[in-house]
Amino acid sequence: SQELEQSPQSLIVQEGKNLTINCTSSKTLYGLYWYKQKYGEGLIFLMMLQKGGEEKSHEKITAKLDEKKQQSSLHITASQPSHAGIYLCGAVTISNFGNEKLTFGTGTRLTIIP
């Protein structure tokens, strides 16, 4: 089964600073999703990456997919308090029957301090 390792597990960053979160897969990545979760709430879809080398941005968040390294990174520029939360990467696995499932990493808890 596919396993996803996220690093770091937790991160404390001063407001305004940049940061990077990594997600490494034990198997080939066919699709990689990034979600954000706030305590007590569901997951908010951020971005989906499908192709090696693909890079997407939304506001101050940029995600890249390095297919060869089976890795994705999420970069936040000029962090703000609203960025605080748990960031989860999810990898798509597709069975022989075409069933799609997401396997999630254990998450990175981001805290923004003033």
Partner 1 sequence: GAGVSQSPSNKVTEKGKDVELRCDPISGHTALYWYRQRLGQGLEFLIYFQGNSAPDKSGLPSDRFSAERTGESVSTLTIQRTQQEDSAVYLCASSLGLSGQGNQPQHFGDGTRLSIL
Residues in touch with partner 1 (CB under 8 A): 30-31, 33, 35, 40-45, 48, 50, 88, 90, 92, 94-95, 98-107
CB of 57 to partner 1, least distance (A): 16
CB of 83 to partner 1, least distance (A): 19
Q: Do the Cβ atoms of 46 and 61 come closer than 8 Å?
A: yes
CA-wise closest residue to 80 among 34, 19, 38: 19
Q: Do the Cβ atoms of 110 and 14 come closer than 8 Å?
A: no
Nearer to partner 1, 61 or 88 (CB): 88
CB of 104 to partner 1, least distance (A): 4
Nearest-5° Cα angle at 48, 46 to 52: 140
